[in-house]
Amino acid sequence: MTTKTKTITLIIPCFNEATNIQKGVLDKIGNFTAHDGRFVEVLIVDDGSTDDSRNLVKADYLPSFPKFRLIENPHGGKAQTLITGMREAKGDVVMFTDIDLATPLEESTKLMKEVDAGYRIVVGSRSSHREGAPFLRKVMAVGFIYIRNFFIGLRGIRDTQCGFKAFERTAAQTIIEHLRVFGKIRSVRGSSVTAGFDLEFLFLAAKLGYNIKEIPVTWKHVETKNVNFIRDSMETMKDIVRIKYYDLIGKYQT
């Protein structure tokens, strides 16, 4: 009996990424996915960019890469781009990566190996090395794990925030319908990585009984203007408290 090859929708969040686009990151993504038949579409979900990102995608990439599709969202943060992409996805598996390609797309083979083995949620892990990351960020990341574990658990997963993950599409679409903290469009200003989204998503995945696998992937720190570590950490702490509160009052009854 022949096993059907699972198809992949790749989601690329985009907010004011004209500089990265001009460096050729979308060429790398386009060429890689063009030669891998598992990838049936690449959804570039724009988060209301105010630079030339959308025009560059439309003019230079949509005509050249048939698998590319641009979705234009109003500005709502990274979480909303991912939710939009999951709802629009047509592949059997939804995979997403950051546009800076801190984890090379070649690592997708590792994720798909675990999906093919039966895991419905697979998360990449930067492990404890985090090559090139500033020392303070490494220390704060360890502290974040302890706080997260104390409030909402997820003890089986060390790195919830790596921007390289793969989900079975039907599982992902079920999970996002149960979101509470990120169930509605939130008002944001400027760039917003909305790291709490990964936490609520994985918290719900575990609560719904989906099997989750964390695997180490190659990752190299890339400094980006879209991340303000102190501000984003405070925002995430608030989201952790909200997740805990909603759980205590029974909002996540499934």
Residue 161 banded pLDDT, cuts 50, 70, 90: confident
- Residue 140 pLDDT greater than 70, yes or no: no
What is the rounded average pLDDT of the residues 208-232? Answer: 79
Map tokens 């190996």 to a residue: 113
Q: Report the percent of the chain where pLDDT is more than 90.
A: 69
Residue 1 banded pLDDT, cuts 50, 70, 90: low
Q: State the pLDDT at residue 208.
A: 95
Q: State the pLDDT at residue 112.
A: 97
Q: Which residues contact 87 (CB under 8 A, 6 or more apart)?
A: 173, 176
Q: What are phi and psi of 48, to 5 degrees?
A: 65, 40
> For residue 197, what are the CA distances in angstroms to 70, 104, 188, 193, 227?
22, 23, 14, 9, 15
What is the rounded average pLDDT of the residues 185-194? Answer: 68
For 39-86, the pLDDT digits (tens) are: 999 999 999 999 999 999 999 999 999 999 999 999 999 999 999 999
Chain-wide mean pLDDT for the chain?
Answer: 88
The whole-model pTM stands at 0.88
Structural domains in the chain, CATH included, are: 8-248 (3.90.550.10)
